[in-house]
Amino acid sequence: MRIPYAFPLAAALALAPAAPAAGQVRLTAMVGVTGSSALVTDQIFEDIELKPALAPTFFLSASLPVATRLRASLDLSYGSSSADLTESGQDASDLGSIGVLTAAVALEGPLVSRLSWRLSLGVIEYLPSEETGLFSDGVPVAGLFGAGLDWRQPLSERWSGVAGVRYDFHLFTTPTLEAAGFSGSQQVSRVGLAIGAAWDFQ
User: Which pLDDT band, with edges at 50, 70 and 90, does 41 fall under?
Assistant: confident
For residue 67, which of 8, 128, 24, 5 has the smallest C-alpha distance? 24
- Percent over 70 (pLDDT), the chain: 79
Domain membership of residue 126 (yes or no) is yes
Domain membership of residue 60 (yes or no) is yes
Max mean pLDDT range (23-27, 71-75, 134-138):
71-75
Domain membership of residue 22 (yes or no) is yes
Other CB atoms within 10 A of residue 155 CB: 11
DSSP notation for 6-23: HHHHHHHHHHTTTTT--S
Q: Give the pLDDT confidence score for residue 23 in this predicted structure.
A: 54
* Model pLDDT for residues 62-71, shown as the tens digit of each residue: 999 999 899 9
> What CATH number did the domain enclosing 51 receive?
2.40.160.20
Domain membership of residue 191 (yes or no) is yes
Query: Looking at the DSSP assignment, which residues form a beta bridge with residue 185?
Result: none
State CA 128 to chain mean position distance.
16
Torsion, Cα 160 59 40 133, to 10 degrees, reads -160
3-state secondary structure of 24: coil
Give the whole-angstrom CA distance, residue 151 versus residue 161.
8
Give the whole-angstrom CA distance, residue 63 versus residue 72.
5
Query: Looking at the DSSP assignment, which residues form a beta bridge with residue 6?
Result: none
In which domain, by residue range, is 140 found? 6-201
* Model pLDDT for residues 178-197, shown as the tens digit of each residue: 787 776 788 999 999 999 99
Domain membership of residue 142 (yes or no) is yes
Domain membership of residue 50 (yes or no) is yes
Is the model more confident about 130 or about 11?
130
CB of 116 within 8 A of CB of 97? no
Domain membership of residue 1 (yes or no) is no
Give the chain's domain count: 1
